[in-house]
Amino acid sequence: MRINLTSVLVDDQAKALRFYTEVLGFVKRTEVPLGEHRWLTVVSPDAPDGVELLLEPDVHPAARPFKRALVADGIPYTSFAVDDVHAEAERLRALGVRFIQEPTEMGPVTTAILDDTCGNLIQITHYT
């Protein structure tokens, strides 16, 4: 068994696609119109046939309250691996990304938490 798809709930798919591709650096993989919304996935450019991230509309009645509660408590919705949290945070900050937790070393892991502009906090992580 392996993970082939995961999702992040977003408040605006077009805005999310811009942020996740133009800022974070993912690549659009799939876009299928589904009425008002789309089946819209991105992948890592390092693994174009790897795990897809679905930019899923947060239209379910439970989605937005759930996201607001996570943000209020400072809890990231998901986590992405990077080679160097400090360098990636510098790159993203230069692109206007807002961090709610600066790079922090916690034993063998370094993390930072950013605002994805789509209603989520996202953690970036690397292990030493």
Model confidence pLDDT, tens digit, residues 21-80: 999 999 999 999 999 999 999 999 999 999 999 999 999 999 999 999 999 999 999 999
DSSP per residue over the chain, as a string? ----EEEEEES-HHHHHHIIIIIT--EEEEEEEETTEEEEEEE-TT-TTS-EEEEEE--STTHHHHHHHHHHTT--SEEEE-S-HHHHHHHHHHTTPPEEEEEEEETTEEEEEEE-SSS-EEEEEEE-
Q: Could you tell me the CATH number of the domain that includes residue 41? A: 3.10.180.10
What's the whole-number mean pLDDT along residues 85-111? 98
Specify the pLDDT at position 14: 98
Specify the pLDDT at position 104: 98
Number of domains in the chain: 1
Mean pLDDT estimate for the chain: 97
List the domain range (segments joined by +) for residue 80.
5-127
Residue among 72, 69, 70, 92 at smallest CA distance from 80: 92
Q: How confident is the model at residue 88 (pLDDT cuts 50, 70, 90)?
A: very high
Q: How confident is the model at residue 128 (pLDDT cuts 50, 70, 90)?
A: confident
